Amino acid sequence: MADAQLRLAFRMTTITYLKGDATAPQAKGKKIIAHVCNDLGGWGKGFVVAISRRWTEPERSYRDWHRHRSKNDFALGAVQLVQAEDYVWVANMIGQRGMKTGSKGPPVRYQAIESCLIKVAELSVELSASVHMPRIGCGLAGGKWERIEPLIQQSLCAAQVPVFVYDFV
């Protein structure tokens, strides 16, 4: 089946690619900014720097979530949704094991990102929010966009969630 027919059959949305800053979403209404975090509690390099420049709550919540991980769901595949302003939430998605490439390859964990995206799709539908992100998992996590993009299509787009991917200029 051709892509257009497949989208029509499943009523999928498509990913909209934009040039700009994912922390300044270019849409009206409620918005979720999704990004990938590591499972070590580290926050200080990559896209999180842009998030912290704009809001303090996502970093504070992530660090607290990690600090109390023995009493919560902090682990690969988990999502923490943090309200940053009236119509903007940040989805801290645990999608990378550690922070450095090792014997098991880069830190990206595609299965964890897939689990996170499914949860973000559910949250987006509940909130009636669009989802905005950089090319998640492809920076410091070392992932490949050709593996991440289908995960977004199978989760967010299949749930008819408007998705915007930003390439920073």
Report the CATH number of the 3-167 domain: 3.40.220.10
Summarised one tens digit per residue, pLDDT across range 13-56 is 899 999 999 999 999 999 999 999 999 999 999 999 999 999 99
Which of 48, 87, 84, 89 lies closest to 66, judged by CA? Answer: 48
Which DSSP string do the residues of 20-56 spell out, in sequence order? Answer: S-TTS--SSS-EEEEEEEETT---SSTHHHHHHHH-S
Read off the tokens for 101: 């490439």
Kindly list the domain boundaries of the chain, sorted by start residue. 3-167
63: amino acid identity, one letter:
R
Whether 17 contacts 25, CB under 8 Å: no
Summarised one tens digit per residue, pLDDT across range 120-152 is 999 999 999 999 999 999 999 999 999 999 999
